[in-house]
Amino acid sequence: MSDRVILTTSSHLEGYRVSEHIDIVSAECVFGMNILKDMFAGFRDFFGGRNNASQEALRDARVACLDELRREPGEMGANAVIGIDLDYSEISGGGKSMLFLVATGTAVKVAKA
């Protein structure tokens, strides 16, 4: 069922009506940025330009977190998550850098209007 869970940042889905609000759901993902990515990010910061390694890490984190966000609602009987919010943070210290992403939303049942 989780592969059929619709995700949206909107509070509604065009052509559907919300028949039941089930619960607030969230997914948390933490990704380590290895030292080479950190080093090349530093060079890009210094010389300017886009940082492909960091962009890929952000993209991978978003995809993984949204995949995770589909699982729990599917198990609850929801077929959509509305009002999704993505919050990115960096956790660093001790020579390590981690990307932290939290996705939250409301698990609902929707039906064609």
Helices (H) and strands (E) in the chain, counts: 2, 4
- Please say whether the beta carbons of 5 and 61 come within 8 A: no
pLDDT mean across residues, the chain: 83
pLDDT-derived band at 91 (thresholds 50, 70, 90) equals confident
DSSP per-residue string spanning 8-23: -SSSS-TTEEEEEEEE
The number of folded domains in the chain is: 1
* Residue 94: CATH number of its domain: 3.30.110.70
Beta strands in 34-95 (DSSP E): 80-93
CA dist., res. 20 & res. 82, Å (int): 12
pTM value is 0.77
| Residues 24-65: tens digit of each pLDDT | 999 998 887 664 455 455 555 555 556 676 777 788 889 999
Q: At 41, which amino acid appears? A: A
Q: Is the pLDDT of residue 1 over 50?
A: no
Domain with 71 in it: 2-112
